[in-house]
Amino acid sequence: MQLANRHDFKALHDMFWQSPSALLVAKSATASEGNWAGFWGNDAIDQKLHDIGTSGPVVLQPDYSKFKVVGLTNDVAQSYAPVTITVSYAGQDGTPKPFLVLINWIRVDKDWKIASEIILPVPPAPAAGS
């Protein structure tokens, strides 16, 4: 999260599994992609992170009290964190909003790499009595 807040694109690139199967699910900027889309492979992920990071301020504030990691195998794990994200990308107004960030991790040699990162917006709670 700190690397994203610093817009350290090289370090973010290095955190991802170097594979055409690496995946980032995030807000899209074009109608042809839909509102949210999957971006597959490192070139697409690098471009998406660059586009988001250069669109204006980006601040990620995870709630570490709710951060969880589950080991699925010796070489695969999944993490979950509620995160408040402030971003002005693709029509977002820069107001902090709640998201869930789900990351699948894969061990590559001695390092853990992001195999997939899924950023989901949390919809507002329904009004009382609805």
Q: What is the predicted pLDDT for the residue at 14?
A: 96
Mean pLDDT of 30-49: 91
Q: What is the predicted pLDDT for the residue at 32?
A: 81
pLDDT digits (tens, 9 = 90+) for 46-92: 999 999 988 888 899 999 999 999 999 999 999 999 999 998 887 77
pTM of the model: 0.88
Q: What is the predicted pLDDT for the residue at 55?
A: 85
Sequence length of the chain is 130
Query: Is the pLDDT confidence value at 130 over 70?
Result: no
Q: What is the predicted pLDDT for the residue at 3?
A: 66
Q: Give 42 or 35, the one with higher predicted confidence.
A: 42
- 3-state SS, the chain, equals CHHHHCCCHHHHHHHECCCCCCEEEEECCCHHHCCEEEEECHHHHHHHHHHHHCCCCEEEEECHHHCEEEECCCCEEEEEEEEEEEECHHHCCCCCEEEEEEEEEEEECCEEEEEEEEEEECCCCCCCCC
Distance CA 13, CA 4 (A): 11
Q: What is the predicted pLDDT for the residue at 56?
A: 80
Domains of the chain: 2-120 (3.10.450.50)
Q: What is the predicted pLDDT for the residue at 1?
A: 66
CB 81 within 8 A of CB 100: yes
Q: What is the predicted pLDDT for the residue at 10?
A: 93
